Structure 1
Amino acid sequence: MSNPHSSFPLMFSQVDVTAASQPRSVLSQGEEQVELLREVLAAQDRTNELLEELVSTMATRERQRNQELHQWKKANPDLADDCRTAAELLSKVQVEYLDRLTEEINDTQDDLVDGEFMLNEFIDRYGPRLAHLNGVIQVLAQLGTNPTASTTESQA
């Protein structure tokens, strides 16, 4: 039988993977370790520089955010007070909600552990409401913080 692939041109060629024409100088074990440590140190220095830039950028954004929040509170002092009051009231609602949630967990513990359906029902029933309530409280609390307290925190 003839070879069916003989009529096709070769798709692969050989690649020379031998060492470069200039051989690398042979280092003693101690010199090699020193060189590796220098490389590690240089990489660590670069990592430190990048981290410093990142912290600086984040601090600048946080200062700007605090300044904008402070300006908003000065422009809307009554609304800031109302936000603080609303956050306190919703926190009480949240405590009651968590109390009911934990009661249900304790009452249906075995069903939640053993039944996928019951666990999904529980999560669907309580999860989104709890997440949204936490988000609303967080926003109201942040908008309702005392302007002098947020100023001193951002300056610290």
Structure 2
Amino acid sequence: MSGPVYVMPTPLTGPAPATGSAEVADLLRQLLTAQRELVALHKAQAASQDPNGRWKSFLARWAEEFPGVGGACKRALPALERAYIGMINEATERLAEDDGLLANEFALAEFLDRYGMKLAQMGNIINQLSPLADASSATDKS
């Protein structure tokens, strides 16, 4: 049976290099410059990953011709969301009431005619207005 072998590092022989205060100050300046560059890179990375950045620039580009569109999206979104969730609630309640509602092709077609297109269109409208409303909110805060 063998045990672990421990090897002690050999101490450095010779005098420690003497550094003057000018060298230390220069190294600290270099470190500070590197940290500033790193902060700038982090800011650029965060800005490039901002999901609202594209929509902010879109709203800014058209601000003169359509000055209130971002705010209008923000004000309209709650009513659209309420109508959308109401349609989802109605569709799910109808499904819960009648287990055989989608049992045949005719019943499925009727259900889709009644709810499918409306839900899809309303969801699409909400998905298009939400980023504009969020970008408007972010622009208002800054």
Band of TM-score, shorter chain: 0.5 to 0.7
* CA distance in structure 2 between the aligned counterparts of 1:95 and 1:120, rounded to whole angstroms: 22
Q: Which amino acid aligns with 1:71?
A: S
> Runs ≥4 in structure 1, deviation > 2 angstroms?
65-69, 71-74, 146-150
Unpaired runs of at least 5, structure 2: 1-47
Q: Does 1:69 align with 2:55?
A: yes
Q: Does 1:79 align with 2:69?
A: yes
Matches within 5 A, 1:1-156: 67-74=53-60, 75=63, 76=66, 78-112=68-102, 114-147=103-136, 149=138
Cα displacement (A) at 1:68: 4.6
Identity %: 28
CA distance 1:116–1:88, shift in 2 (3 Å):
same
Q: Per-residue displacement from partner, 1:77-134 (whole Å, max 9, x unpaired)?
A: 521011011112100111111111111111222231x222101211121111100000
* CA distance in structure 2 between the aligned counterparts of 1:66 and 1:141, rounded to whole angstroms: 10
Unpaired runs of at least 5, structure 1: 1-61, 151-156
TM-score (norm: length of structure 2) = 0.52
CA distance 1:92–1:148, shift in 2 (3 Å):
closer
Alpha carbons 2:81, 2:126 under 8 Å: kept: yes
Q: Per-residue displacement from partner, 1:25-77 (whole Å, max 9, x unpaired)?
A: xxxxxxxxxxxxxxxxxxxxxxxxxxxxxxxxxxxxx87x9555212323255
TM-score (norm: length of structure 1) = 0.48
* CA distance in structure 2 between the aligned counterparts of 1:147 and 1:124, rounded to whole angstroms: 35
Give the structure with the larger helix fraction.
1
